[in-house]
Structure 1
Amino acid sequence: MSSSLEGQLAWVTGGGSGIGLAGAIELARAGCRVVISGRDPAKLEAALDRARQGGVANDAISAMPLDVADKASVQRVAKDIQAAHGPVGILVNSAGINFPKRYWGDTDGETFDKVVAVNLSGATYCTLAVLHGMRALGRGTVINVASFVGWYLSHLTGPAYTATKAGMMALSHSFNIEEGVHGLRATALCPGEVATPILQSRPVPPSADDMARMLQEEDLGRTIRFVAELPPHVCINELVISPVFNRLYLGGKEFARR
């Protein structure tokens, strides 16, 4: 049975690993032409290899390096994507960073600015870059990978990351308020702990046993595909998903306040 996504163009930022790559693979399997972006060209090449090893056709997925915090580069890459493939119909804003020195007592303004620039401003720049193309199509789906901690505040991630993820939820709702009349929709995807490489930037990285009980990258890939495949008259404004063993409720040694 053919997918409703057959032939659509998807752009996935943060596509070199983790949730972004998992979403890109699932969208390609659903028939999308997918462009992944990230800051590291070598990492993007490795991601393309992984996608192709997973059965994605060579011509179904490609890469364009990009630092989403650089708004001029975002505009350039978005224009290059449109020139090569046409307007973007699905945007997955999955680029995100955090730092070990994240708490009020040991972070600084420069670190805060870096997190905001990638997590929140980057998502805004990319959405603005595809907005008018989506309007011309008369449809469009923006999936903002926010976080459980933007929905249920937690000490774990620190003020910068928490604020940006709450901000991504606000971006999603404001997009729906304004752009629903044009046939466009946004979802704030709010996952709990996911076993991805970003966890290694925590002050105390989780154990292998804890990571095995978390959501896995593939779980979020399927969730992204599910949101994108919904009929165009349906909008999931927020989707909160967590592991059954939810340490954001239960705690753990790395959750302890100092």
Structure 2
Amino acid sequence: MTDTTRPLAGRTAWVTGAASGIGEATALALATAGATVAITSRRADKLEALAARIRAAGGEAIAAAGDVTDLGRMEAIADELLERGTLDILVNNAGNNIPERSWGELTPETIDLLLDANLRGTLQVSRLVLPMMQAGGGGVLIHIGSWAAHFISTGPGPIYTAAKSGVVAMSHTINLEHGVHGIRSCVLSPGDVHTPLMDKRPMKMSDEAKRKMLQPEDIAGLVLHVATLPAHVCVNEIIVGPTYR
């Protein structure tokens, strides 16, 4: 009999950018639902602390520090997960932005930084897991996109906007090519979420404004919903925002 309190029991999930914000909340939600969760971030100390929290609550966690822009490290993590069995869920959450984001402030280095963190890393990790999921008979990829990809404005900056738009297009192509293999891909594009990334905005935000934003746990709940849908259901996109504008 299926344990409805642990719908992901026996499944393995990989969450990138898991040290804080949406990634941290998502890792906790998936572990509570029964998944073994591999967590990746550049900050090894925060990863170990999160893994300890998951284990203390009775869950299973694999802390695998690494930067998604480091392809060799991502390949090593994928190989480790493959040795443990199949991978069922990927949450591509890693991303970044900078205060100096307007055209007049961008440099070749910061353009590469933003493309690597927000698009290239997502592409490469997706490429690594697709054969694993196909061999295992299916899986779910959930990419944290952005409101910026759907409602163009100057605020997020041109490179972040272009990168997140690329993530949306990438996800749809996964469904077109790999849906026949039982693989489903979803872009979850939130508006303002109260995460550490908000502190990188050019203009400092008030505490009141942050309280009105979506919270990481809100997005984690949507990730969990998509991850636990029946195998014949594919949610291509979710666009979600706070009630204020």
TM-score range, shorter chain: over 0.9
Query: Aligned partners of 1:156, 1:52: CA distance in 2, in Å?
Result: 39
Deviation at 1:4, TM superposition (A): 3.5
Where does residue 37 of structure 1 map in the other structure?
Answer: 40
Q: Give the secondary structure class of the aligned counterpart of 1:107.
A: coil
The Cα of 1:49 is off from its aligned counterpart by: 4.1
Q: CA deviation at 1:50?
A: 4.5
Alignment of 1:1-258 (within 5 A): 1-2=3-4, 3-51=6-54, 55=57, 57=58, 59-83=59-83, 85-246=84-245
Aligned residues: 242
- Give secondary structure in 2 for the equivalent of 1:175: helix
Gaps in structure 1 of 5+ consecutive residues: 247-258
CA contact (8 A) 1:87 1:130 kept: no
TM-score by length of 2: 0.95
User: Distance in 2 between the 1:199 and 1:60 partners?
Assistant: 30
Q: Contact 2:54 / 2:60 at 8 angstroms: preserved in 1?
A: no
> What is the CA distance between 1:77 and its match in structure 2?
1.2
Distance of 1:205 and 1:88 partners within structure 2: 40
The verdict on how the C-alpha distance between 1:243 and 1:52 changes in structure 2, with shifts beyond 3 A counting, is farther
Per the TM alignment, residue 47 of structure 1 is displaced from its structure 2 partner at its CA by 2.5
Matched letter for residue 222 of structure 1: G
Deviations 1:126-171 (A, max 9, x none): 1111111100111110000000111111211101111111111011
Q: Secondary structure at the match of 2:204?
A: coil
Which AA in structure 1 matches 2:81? I
* Residue identity matched to 1:43: K
Moved over 3 A (4+): 49-53
AA of the residue aligned to 2:76 = R
Contact 1:191–1:241 (CA under 8 A) maintained in structure 2: yes
Gaps of 5+ in 2: none
AA aligned opposite 1:177: L
Structure 1 CA distance for aligned equivalents of residues 112 and 235 of structure 2: 30
Cα deviation, residue 48, structure 1: 2.6
Cα RMSD for the two superposed structures: 1.3
Identity %: 41
Instruction: With the length of structure 1 as denominator, give the TM-score of the two structures.
Output: 0.90
